[in-house]
């Protein structure tokens, strides 16, 4: 009995985390935060992001279990997870709405791991090579592709104070284009992309 208890303690540990509630109502999970005057530093697995303090309405503490796999002498083979299950798991890990991540994946690749765009974007979340390198991910591996894509989307949401439309525009056209035009750039492709993702997301949120 004691051995079983020790195994459970090793396999399941509480991980402190919190959700940052932005002024527009959007919630994003972070590891911790620091307030420095008019700025707030948010610590995530991807690094540190600073946002304006007035963009945050609250922080909510939470404890979530982190499962650590235990090696066994003869583990049964596990079937590869469905692409949509990967998305749900990654969204949960990083505190993003699952519907938003699904909507991005649907617009980017229709959930196809073998999708390659004319510009060289790869996989379910259509990672560009530079983005994949930034997150040390193999874009051809579905799990790494989704994980990196969700982390990148989370970074953009934090960067733009929870503005979903601006984050989506940066995901599509790049942060440089968003900075140049001070928001969603006047590119038909990007504007159609933002509208398509938001439209799908609103439908899933209403279900």
Residues serving a catalytic function are 108
DSSP state of 13: E
Which tokens belong to 48? 């540190």
Query: Distance between CA atoms of 201 and 93, rounded to whole angstroms?
Result: 19
DSSP per-residue letters across 26-52: -EEEESEEEEETTEEEEEETTEEEEEE
Q: What are the C-alpha distances in Å from 10 to residues 1, 17, 40, 54, 110?
A: 14, 19, 34, 40, 39
Q: What are the C-alpha distances in Å from 100 to residues 48, 67, 70, 91, 152?
A: 22, 25, 32, 9, 13
């Amino acid at each position: 009995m004691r051995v079983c208890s020790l195994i459970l303690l090793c396999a399941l540990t509480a991980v402190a985390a919190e959700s940052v509630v932005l002024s527009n109502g959007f919630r994003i999970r972070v590891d911790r935060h620091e307030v420095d005057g008019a700025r707030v530093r948010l610590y995530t697995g991807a690094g540190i992001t600073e946002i304006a303090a007035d963009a945050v309405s609250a922080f909510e503490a939470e404890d979530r279990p982190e499962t650590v796999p235990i090696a066994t002498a003869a583990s049964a083979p596990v079937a590869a997870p469905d692409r949509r299950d990967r998305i749900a798991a990654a969204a949960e890990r990083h505190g993003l709405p699952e519907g938003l991540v699904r909507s991005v994946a649907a617009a980017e690749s229709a959930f196809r791991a073998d999708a390659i765009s004319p510009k060289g974007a790869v996989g379910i979340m259509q990672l560009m090579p530079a983005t994949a390198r930034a997150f040390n991910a193999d874009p051809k591996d579905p799990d790494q592709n989704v994980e990196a894509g969700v982390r990148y989307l989370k970074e953009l949401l934090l960067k733009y104070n929870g503005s979903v439309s601006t984050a989506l525009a940066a995901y599509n056209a790049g942060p440089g284009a968003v900075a140049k035009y001070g928001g969603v750039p006047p590119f038909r492709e990007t504007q159609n992309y933002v509208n398509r993702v938001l439209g799908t997301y609103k439908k899933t949120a209403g279900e």
